Chains A and B, each alone.
Chain A
Amino acid sequence: MGLVDKNLSLRNRNKMLIGVWEDEDALLSATQAVVDKGVHIHDVFTPYPVHGLDRIIGVKRSRLARIAFFCGLTGLSLMFTMIWYMYVKDWPVNVGNKPVRFSPSWIPVMFEGTILCTAFGMGVFFFLRNRMLHGIKNDLLDDRQTDDRMIMTIETCEGMDEKGLIELMKEKGAVETREFHHGVQTVI
Chain B
Amino acid sequence: MIHDSIIRERLVTGDKTAADVTRDISRPILNQPSTAWKIGFTLSLIFLGIFGVSLFWTVWTGIGVWNINKSVMWGWDITNFVFWVGIGHAGTLISAVLLLFRQKWRMSINRSAEAMTIFAVVCAAMFPVFHMGRVWVGYWALPLPNAFGSLWVNFNSPLLWDVFAISTYFSVSLLFWYIGMIPDIATIRDKVKTKTAKFWYNFFSMGWTGSTRSWARYELVSLILAGISTPLVLSVHTIVSADFATSVIPGWHTTIFPPYFVAGAIFSGFGMVATLLVVARKVMNYENYITIGHLEAMTKIIMVTGTLVGIAYLTEFFIAWYSVVEYEQYAFINRATGPYWWAYWSMMSCNLIAPQVFWFKWARTTPWFIFIMSIVVNVGMWFERFVIIVTSLHRDYLPSSWVMYSGSLTEVGLFLGTFGIFFTCFFLFAKFLPVINMSEVKTILRNRE
By a beta-carbon cutoff of 8 Å, the part of chain A in contact with chain B is: 5, 7-8, 24, 43-51, 53-54, 57, 59, 61-62, 64-65, 68, 72, 82-83, 86-87, 90-91, 93, 95, 103, 105-106, 108-109, 111-113, 115-116, 118-120, 122-123, 126-127, 129-141, 143-148
Contact = CB atoms under 8 A, between A and B. Distances in A.
Interface residues of B, number: 64
Given A48-B443, A62-B217, A95-B156, A118 B210 contact: no
Given A45-B209, A54-B212, A95-B156, A134 B204 contact: yes
B186 interface: yes
B8 interface: no
Contacts of B22: 47, 147-148
Contact of B214 (A108, A130, A140): A130
A115 to B, nearest CB: 5
B202 A138 contact: yes
Interface in B123-182: 143, 150-156, 158, 160-161, 164-165, 168, 171-172, 175-176, 179, 182
B164 A47 contact: no
B155 A134 contact: no
Nearest to B202: A135
Interface of B: 17-19, 22, 143, 150-156, 158, 160-161, 164-165, 168, 171-172, 175-176, 179, 182-183, 186-187, 189-191, 202-221, 224-225, 228, 231-232, 235, 239, 242, 438-440, 442-443, 446
Contacts of B214: 8, 130, 132
Nearest to B186: A146
A64 B217 contact: yes
Tell me the interface secondary structure of chain B in the complex.
helix
Contact of B239 (A83, A108, A113, A137): A108
Contacts of A44: 211-212
Contact of A147 (B18, B213, B232): B18
13 contacts: A7-B213, A8-B211, A46-B210, A48-B438, A49-B443, A51-B443, A68-B224, A86-B153, A93-B154, A105-B155, A115-B232, A132-B208, A147-B18
Given A83-B155, A86-B143, A134-B204, A140 B209 contact: yes
A140 to B, nearest CB: 6
B164 A112 contact: yes
List 3 A-B pairs, minimum CB-CB distance, nearest first: A148-B18, A136-B207, A132-B206
Given A59-B216, A127-B206, A138-B186, A48 B211 contact: no
